[in-house]
Chains A and B, each alone.
Chain A
Amino acid sequence: MIVVKSHGEFRQQTRKTILESLEVNNLEVHTSCREGFCGACRTKLNKGSVKYITEPLAYFEDDEILPCCCVATSDIEIELS
């Protein structure tokens, strides 16, 4: 499960990134390159772990993720900016 703070709970879709899983549910996330190099989708990760399917190049802090290029490997809680 992906818990988005103050937006509810969503399912991690099979073969979809976290970003795509959220977009299926019409949640608006800032995006641009969708490939991990622009950093527009930087999101705070409060709980859980993720796995990157494309190596991220953009800068992000240790407690942040780039949802455009990773999938959740456990239940996670994130905070949209």
Chain B
Amino acid sequence: MFFGHPVNVARYDQQKHSIFEKIIEKQISFFWRPEEVDVSKDRVDFQKLSESEKHIFISNLKYQTLLDSIQGRSPNIAFLPIISLPELETWVETWSFFETIHSRSYTHILRNLFTDPSQIFEDIVVNQEIKKRATDISKYYDDLIFATQLWQTLGEGTHQVNGETHEINMYQLKKKLYLCMCSVNALEAIRFYVSFACTFAFAERELMEGNSKIIRLIARDENLHLTSTQHILNLWRNGKDDPEMAEIAKECEQESKDIFLTAVEQEKQWAAYLFQHGSMIGLNQEILCQYVEYIANNRMEAIGLGSPFAVSGNPLPWMNNYLSSDNVQVAPQESEISSYLVGQIDSEVDSSEFDDFDL
């Protein structure tokens, strides 16, 4: 999949791993635009939220904006130069494109809530809580990108750059790639879900429903992205791709476990930060932390890392109503479908509406 022959002609008649084309088709069938969802009622709902709830809502949006900024850009920069299968190359491009839809939808939501959302966006890069975790996410990408660039320009060997010595060989590059893929997997598997849980908890109370419809679409896409990185990791691990990657997977087992455990720990800290001014109805820090552990068990199990936490049942069973694809794409008359509800709320108010008012 990686570090083989360059991709050359984009042909899909011969495919080594046809699963990626199937995932591309699925992803394209999911196409949506943020403007389709009417979020105008959310502005009224937002005013009704308590201060602590506003903090939860806005902080989550900020964090998700950052995650999708990273994901909209980095897979292209980090993976495309070293991919050797056209089907995988096209998948990465499709994947990134959808992340850009997500990014645009955050602006769509924020523009509706605030007359001037720039303050929110500016805080993303100075907020300590967000920065703390962002470093951990970008670290693996940066490592891989830097090493790939050295390898492409100078080849294998020991190189001096800015007074630092860098040892570049294929094994090290592959190892960096493996860890980066694990970190991407953890990002889409765990990191998004604390925010998702909060959004859907608001929706359970029939608040911020426009926003929840958008997040539901995003969650569906993220689930598919997650599936693709799980495929990559499992193909490596089971020796169905590059045999050297199977060795690396074995060698890095503890390190990849640690990536997940760190993500779980950081998400728990994020939950604490979210609820620092008070909880919200239907959700508190403890239950959210249990949910993170539940989801981590599930995700780690899926790529053969075992389930390290002692949670058996799903602590937030109602989450599945929002994550289930049925509820996103069903027959329109079954009401819950988001695309059917597009423009359901007539948000235009003309001054003539008040014509027959007398004071």
Tally the A-B contacts, defined by beta carbons under 8 Å.
50
A1-9, A24-32, A45-53, A70-78 - the one binding chain B: A24-32
Q: 23 interchain pairs (CB within 8 A)? A: A31-B320, A32-B223, A32-B323, A32-B324, A33-B223, A33-B323, A33-B324, A33-B325, A34-B326, A35-B326, A37-B23, A37-B26, A37-B223, A37-B224, A37-B325, A38-B223, A38-B226, A38-B227, A57-B23, A58-B227, A59-B231, A59-B234, A81-B301
Q: Are A59 and B302 in contact (CB under 8 A)?
A: yes
Which residues of chain A come closer than 8 Å to B301, judged between CB atoms?
81
A67 at the interface (CB under 8 A from B): no
Number of interface residues of B (CB under 8 A): 22
Are B298 and A40 closer than 8 Å at their CB atoms? yes
Chain B nearest CB from A75 CB (Å) reads 27
CB closest residue in chain A, given B23: A57
Contact B320 A39 (CB under 8 A): no
Closest 6 CB pairs of A and B: A35-B325, A33-B325, A38-B223, A32-B323, A34-B324, A59-B234
Range class of the A interface residue count: 10 to 19
Distance in angstroms between the alpha carbons of A57 and B29 in the assembled complex: 14
CA distance A54 to B220 in the complex (A): 17
In the bound complex, how far is the Cα of B234 from the Cα of A78, in angstroms?
22
Of B234, B301, B302, most A-chain CB atoms within 10 Å: B302
B163 located at the interface, meaning its Cβ lies under 8 Å from any Cβ of chain A in the complex: no
Q: Which residues of B contact A34 (CB under 8 A)?
A: 324-326
Residue interface bits B289-307, CB-to-A below 8 A is 1, else 0: 0000000001001100000
Nearest CB in chain B: distance from A34 CB, A: 5
Given the complex, which residues of B lie within 8 Å of A42, measured CB to CB? 302
Secondary structure dominating the interface of A: loop
Give the distance to chain B from A66, nearest Cβ to Cβ, in Å. 11
* CA gap between A24 and B146 in the complex, in Å: 53
Q: Closest approach, in angstroms, between the C-beta of A24 and any C-beta of chain B?
A: 16
- Can you list, as one digit per residue, whether each of B303-316 has a CB less than 8 Å from chain A (1) or not (0)? 00000000001100
Contact among A30, A39, A81 for B227, CB-based, below 8 A: A39
Q: A58 to B230, Cβ gap below 8 A? A: yes
How far in angstroms is the closest Cβ of chain B from A46? 18
A79 located at the interface, meaning its Cβ lies under 8 Å from any Cβ of chain B in the complex = no
- A31-B320, A57-B19 given; 19 more Cβ-contact pairs under 8 Å: A32-B223, A33-B220, A33-B223, A34-B324, A34-B325, A34-B326, A35-B325, A35-B326, A37-B23, A37-B227, A37-B325, A38-B223, A38-B224, A39-B227, A39-B230, A55-B22, A59-B227, A59-B230, A81-B301
